Amino acid sequence: MRLAVLSDTHGNAVAFEAVAQDLRRQSPDAFVFLGDLAMRGPQPAECIDLLRSLDPLVSIKGNHDHYFARYRDASEWVPKNAKEEMNRRQLQYNQRLLSSEEQHWVGHWPTEHVLHAGNIQAELYHASPASLAKITWPWAANDELDALRKDESTQLVLYGHIHHAFVRSANGRLIVNSGSIGLPFDGDNRASYALIDVTGRDIAVHIRRIAYDIDQVVRIAKDRNMPDVDLFEEAVRKAAFTYGLATKAV
């Protein structure tokens, strides 16, 4: 079975479309989406259309998706700091572009999923079993990586959130972060996703990096007067976290 793992599109449908084209060539049997569909990029509705066209087995809710469940209208949000103010501006922009049905769909995805493929069991999260926003870096200690699963007998853990693609083996199981399609922060500004081939108990992981037209998505963001466009432009060009207040919430 060939599984495509997609995550963190963040409203960048130019990147997502480039990934969708690559997926047609790779022809996976199934898709999963690990959350953060919208926010920060200019094209949330186009990302929803693309995701729906792929008909994923499951979509997992990310911390940015959760805003749509928490606030029916961004004006209800009383921000406590500059970072929350920025996220409220982003939510306002997104809510102008998404129907209430679309917002409800994104805001009510499950926060975890267990998947069986071949003879293996996989656990899927946005960030971790404990929270939608916990940061577990690629260089975390093995015991920290072990906290990314609930069941001892799980052989494969899939998560997103940190926007850094990696594959590691820890305590006898494989930990895969597929990276971010729309907003990588790992220094490689190509869209990132993972293809996983499972045969019996064998697992082969390919991290795919797909170049796309960054100028185009920046142009769309400017044409649509997206808030905080300068931070977005620097982030997509450099594949760096530019949103300040660093490591607390990607």
Residues near Fe ion, by CB under 5 A: 8, 36
Which single residue brings its beta carbon nearest to Fe ion?
A: 36
- Minimum CB distance to Fe ion smaller for 1 or for 249: 249
Backbone φ and ψ of 153, nearest 5°? -85, 5
- Minimum CB distance to Fe ion smaller for 36 or for 233: 36
Tokens linked to 93: 């922009």
**Least CB distance to Fe ion at residue 200 (A):** 33
Give the whole-angstrom CA distance, residue 229 versus residue 245: 17
**Least CB distance to Fe ion at residue 62 (A):** 6
**Least CB distance to Fe ion at residue 37 (A):** 9
Which uninterrupted H or E stretch holds 69?
A: helix 63-70
**Residue carrying the six token digits 């494989």:** 174
Give the whole-angstrom CA distance, residue 142 versus residue 159: 15
**Least CB distance to Fe ion at residue 63 (A):** 7
- Minimum CB distance to Fe ion smaller for 115 or for 250: 250
**Least CB distance to Fe ion at residue 91 (A):** 14
Question: Count of CB atoms within 10 A of residue 248's CB?
Answer: 8
**Least CB distance to Fe ion at residue 153 (A):** 29
- Minimum CB distance to Fe ion smaller for 154 or for 180: 180
DSSP letters of 71-139?
-SSGGG---SSHHHHHHHHHHHHHHHHS-HHHHHHHHT--SEEEEEETTEEEEEESS-SS-SS----TT
Maximum distance among all alpha carbons in the chain? Answer: 51
- Minimum CB distance to Fe ion smaller for 163 or for 208: 163
Tokens linked to 246: 């660093």
Give the whole-angstrom CA distance, residue 142 versus residue 119: 24
- Minimum CB distance to Fe ion smaller for 175 or for 250: 250
